[in-house]
Structure 1
Amino acid sequence: MERCRERGLLETLSHLEVVLRNVLAEQLAARHAAAGRAGTWLDDPADELDQRARADIREARRRVVAKGKQPADGQTISELSFGFWRFLLARRYNTVLWPDLAGGFPYAPDRARTTVDGPFTRLHLFRNRLAHHERIWTEPLTERYGDILNLLRYVDPRIAQWVGQECRVPLLLSSCPVARPRP
């Protein structure tokens, strides 16, 4: 049962990851174009990204080339980790990036960075537990599933609805034969 829940949750988190990376990348591209900067936002010509983010982009481009592909933006973006995207919402970017990134979450209840960063941070930690096959028995699975749907709703309620209809997580949680301990 544990593996079944892991697969259902990883599948649902994968939908979220693709949506979030595309939304954030689109917002950064629009921001870059509006500023009239050369290259792409991944080149960071204004030196707004921290050292770690720039290193992540270099490494993503290296992996694309190692796969025999051209390091085009789309290929590079798909190689960037969930953590890369999560840390773009960190406090250090509150006045630099967030005002533009907030536009990617038009259905959020407010424009506060913490409204998006809170669930994103929890899901980043949770996703890492799943990806490393750590125990999730004591994790608040229903709450993490709620975080996924809320973030998707902030982007577009139709996406959240589609993921909710296609997702196996509620069925897996409700059919678990063993009562889960409460934290």
Structure 2
Amino acid sequence: MPRPPGDEAKALRHYQCNIQISEALYPVLSTLEVALRNAVNRELIHKFGVSDWYSHFSTTPGLAKLNKDITGAQQQITRRNELVTPPKVVAELTLGFWVRLFNAEFERTLWKDLRRVFPNLPKVQKQRKNVSAPLNNFRNLRNRVFHNEPICWRFTHLQQAHQEMRTVLGWINKDLPSWLQPIDRFDSVLQDVINKLK
């Protein structure tokens, strides 16, 4: 069945806008991923008392299931003919790994220690589920952006997601949202895209 005239031009316009919005989200996505990873790493070093905290997973009840992720990261490093060190393992682990640590399955084993990742989270909200939900939203959006999937259909949802990520950044480090401000063009790019698609 032939497409109506103008469909291809419209599709290309949407694709272009998708790329623009994805690019504009990169500063907050990247900053939040690195901040989360570094803060969790810090707290796990504190919990286990060693930089290779993951070496304790096999003997810690409930954490052995995470060994597959650790082994995968170590294998990736070895394939590149690099020395396996704690900083390289930490950098190699996926965002999915870091976010999963806040899921309900690890509440008893990790939440008591990992809640310190968010020193600026209001005390009344300091429950695992209040952290897990936005982190999983963040992971889902980040994966859609990095896998070139469409994200530019629900603009209000994107605005909320962007604000939520900035909020979580502030929970981790109160200075990060203002540090990010000069390079975070999301609001202006989104408005430009909305105008183009009208």
Which residue is 2:6 aligned to?
A: none
Larger radius of gyration: 2
Cα pair 2:51 2:86 within 8 Å, conserved = no
**RMSD across aligned positions (CA):** 1.7
Partner Cα distance (1:39, 1:25) in 2: 8
Cα pair 2:21 2:152 within 8 Å, conserved = no
CA deviations 1:60-106 (Å, max 9, x no partner) are: 01111112211111101111111001100000111210110001100
The residue identity in structure 1 corresponding to 2:176 is I
The residue identity in structure 1 corresponding to 2:116 is G
Partner Cα distance (1:170, 1:49) in 2: 40
Cα pair 1:8 1:167 within 8 Å, conserved = yes
- 1:9 aligned to which of 5, 8, 25: 25
What's the TM-score once normalised by structure 2's chain length? 0.82
Q: Answer yes or no: is 1:72 the counterpart of 2:82.
A: no
**Number of positions where the alignment pairs a residue of Structure 1 with one of Structure 2:** 175
**Worse overlay, 157-166 or 86-95:** 157-166
Q: Percent identity?
A: 24
Structure with a larger share of its residues in helix: 2
Partner Cα distance (1:39, 1:75) in 2: 11
- Per the alignment, in what secondary structure is the counterpart of residue 54 of structure 1? helix
**Worse overlay, 162-171 or 39-48:** 39-48
Change (3 A) 1:39 1:121: closer
Which residue is 1:121 aligned to?
A: 136
- Name structure 1 gaps, 5 residues minimum: none
- Name structure 2 gaps, 5 residues minimum: 1-16
**Worse overlay, 149-158 or 39-48:** 39-48
Which residue is 1:132 aligned to?
A: 147
Which residue is 2:63 aligned to?
A: 49
Which residue is 1:154 aligned to?
A: 171
Which residue is 1:96 aligned to?
A: 109
